Structure formats: C-alpha cells, structure tokens
Amino acid sequence: MLEQRVLQSAIGALELFGLYLGDRLGLYAALRDGHPRTPGELAELCGIHPGYAREWLEQQAVAGFLAVAGKSEDPAARSYRLPEEHAAGAPVELWLVEGGRHAALFERAPEEWERRVVGFLARSLGGAGAGGAQP
C-alpha cells in the first residue's frame, strides 16, 4: 500500500539523518573503541547535551545500528555500544548531489553512481561488483 511505502520512506530518511548526525558530531567515532557508553559519557566525550545523546543512542539502537550493552530501567544509566562488525573503522562516505533526490542520483550522474555502487558492492562483498566489473 502507498501508506506503508510513505511510512517506510519517512523512517528511512530519519535513520539517514541519525547516521549523518552521528558522523558529524563524532558520536560513532566515540563508540568505535567498542566500550559501552552511557548517554552522559557520550555527551561528555562529544560536547553535546546528555539528553540529545540519549535520544540519539535510543534511536540508533531501535534502528539496529547500536547494541544495548547495559540494560537499566533508568535511561541515563543504560549503556550502548557499536557492534563489532560496525566498529572496524571502515571509512564512511556521504555523496551529496545538488538537486539530487534518492532516485535522481542515477539520472543526474549515472557514471559516478555506477562507480560508487559497484565499488561499494565490491568492497562489501569482497569481490567483483555487478557484472564482474571492478571499481
């Protein structure tokens, strides 16, 4: 149904925003060592308000990007960690195309889109990308 597609798209957009914030504010970098952090600890490391850190940590855990390491009834005492497979420190790349929406990236820059997607698949899957092409 259309309503479900719209809802899923909205959730995906909000998750991307959370990923962007985590990158720009250094939240992922502060978690990359694998040590669980409470909202207060993360806030102190990154120079943000503990309430913002708690909201971000909770959203990232619900989205499946972070793991809850120390369960507690008190949200401020709960700790979160970056799962080992995400903490490897692999570089993250954000590609912004002026005027490009999600599906429009292929239309606006098809060669660059293909290079990036095939490269991502090759790196992520440990081999050749679609059609055997190498990045």
81 DSSP β-pair partners: 67
List of domains in the chain: 2-81 (1.10.10.10), 95-135 (no CATH)
Q: What is the pTM of this model?
A: 0.63
Cα–Cα dist 78/82, whole Å:
14
What is the tens place of the pLDDT at every residue in 13-27?
A: 888 888 899 989 999
What is the tens place of the pLDDT at every residue in 20-56?
A: 999 899 999 999 888 999 999 999 999 999 999 999 9
